[in-house]
Amino acid sequence: MCMNDQNVSAPGPDQPITRTLISPERFGQIDPFPVRMLEESGVECVFNPHGRLLNETDMKELITGCDSIIGGAEPISAAVMDCAPELRFISRCSVGLDSVDLLVARQRGIPVSYVAGANAVAVTELTVGHVLSLIRGVKESDTSLRGGTWVRVMGRSLDELTVGIIGVGRIGKLVAGHLAAFGAKIIANDLVPDEAIGEELGIEWIEKERLFREADVVCLHVPVTPLTRNVVSREALATMKPDAVLINTARGGLIDEGALAEALRSGRLGGAALDVFEREPYEGELTQIENCILTCHMGASSRSSRLRMEIQAAENLLCFLKGEPVPLLVPDSEYDLQALTAQ
């Protein structure tokens, strides 16, 4: 239930934003500058009081009386928007948009912005770290040493491997560049191949089925859409090399997690590293599998990346407040994708 049950009405064009819900629990903790930007511009900030990811019930209570929101992974659904009839702007402190009902926001005339690119370097770093940890057996060596056994794990070097990248956008391009610099052969799949970056890095563009068969390392860098949900299916896993490794720092829902667990347990796949999951916090069977590195959706969690994201989210909101062009409004293509998903 909303804290006060009001009828939803279209926002007035001259109505100023004065009260903003900031739902990410750590917003402003690395550096108070983004909060200061808002408060010095006359914005009253309502902060997350729970110190955790907010659920829909939390959001419905906290958003009441707010004109705008700076949101993270929290749900901004139709039910949440119903509790804020004066809501006029949604500023995402994130790149992913799957937790926002874009179509309802558009129907109600509520613009949505995001921070595209702000986390690209940090996610790339974690991806490369996971790749190196898997192919050099870092977790295996650490576990054996702590168990009292001294074993020099014989790993593999990138200059002897083929890396397959599914999705060569901002992050995929950076990952390709970093791994190519180590000498890896790069093969990739993308709906719209970037021929220029392909030529620069020597990328071979191929179909997904061939990529799964030929890659020693598979990295996922795509959003979840009807075309990509469970793109790493039971069938795809069955075609991969038995010593191949799989890395997902993009979005949960891209991998059939049950099928992945079976493939790892049976030795049909060499290893995996996941930073994102279908349901988070994750408590599934992959936690019991040794050759699987799991991290807590921390791809963007570097200090510099987080600060860039918060500053950009605040700037997007302040531009809207001042009647200036918002630099990073969500493009029409994202609305089209969500409409396709809803069909």
Q: Compute the CA torsion angle 129, 302, 97, 280 (nearest 10 deg).
A: 70
The helix (H) or strand (E) run that includes residue 38 is helix 33-39
In the prediction, which pLDDT does 341 show?
75
- The domain segmentation of the chain, as residue ranges, is 19-118+301-342, 120-294
What is this structure's pTM? 0.88
The helix (H) or strand (E) run that includes residue 48 is none
Contact yes or no for 247/270 (Cβ under 8 A): no
Of the candidates 223, 196, 198, 229, the one whose C-alpha atom is nearest the C-alpha of residue 95 is 223
Q: How confident is the model at residue 1 (pLDDT cuts 50, 70, 90)?
A: low
Residue 268 bears catalytic tag: no
Q: Is the pLDDT of residue 329 over 60?
A: yes
In the prediction, which pLDDT does 225 show?
85
d(CA 135, CA 177): 18
Q: What is the mean pLDDT of residues 25-41?
A: 97
What's the whole-number average pLDDT of the chain?
94
In the prediction, which pLDDT does 335 show?
94
Q: How confident is the model at residue 340 (pLDDT cuts 50, 70, 90)?
A: confident
Catalytic one among 44, 280, 290, 324? 280
In the prediction, which pLDDT does 17 show?
63
Q: What is the mean pLDDT of residues 315-342?
A: 92
Catalytic one among 92, 130, 251, 306? 251
CATH annotation of 19-118+301-342: 3.40.50.720
Domain 120-294 class, CATH top level: alpha beta
Catalytic one among 88, 297, 306, 308? 297
19-118+301-342 and 120-294 share one CATH topology?
Answer: yes
Residue 297 bears catalytic tag: yes
Alpha helices by DSSP H, 44-85: 56-62, 78-82
Q: What is the mean pLDDT of residues 124-153?
A: 98
In the prediction, which pLDDT does 238 show?
99
More confident residue, 220 or 11: 220
Residue 200 bears catalytic tag: no
Which pair of structure tokens corresponds to residue 244? 């191949």
d(CA 212, CA 15): 53
In the prediction, which pLDDT does 30 show?
96
Q: Is the pLDDT of residue 6 over 90?
A: no
What is the full DSSP assignment across 66-111?
-SEEEESSS-B-HHHHHT-TT--EEEESSS--TTB-HHHHHHTT--
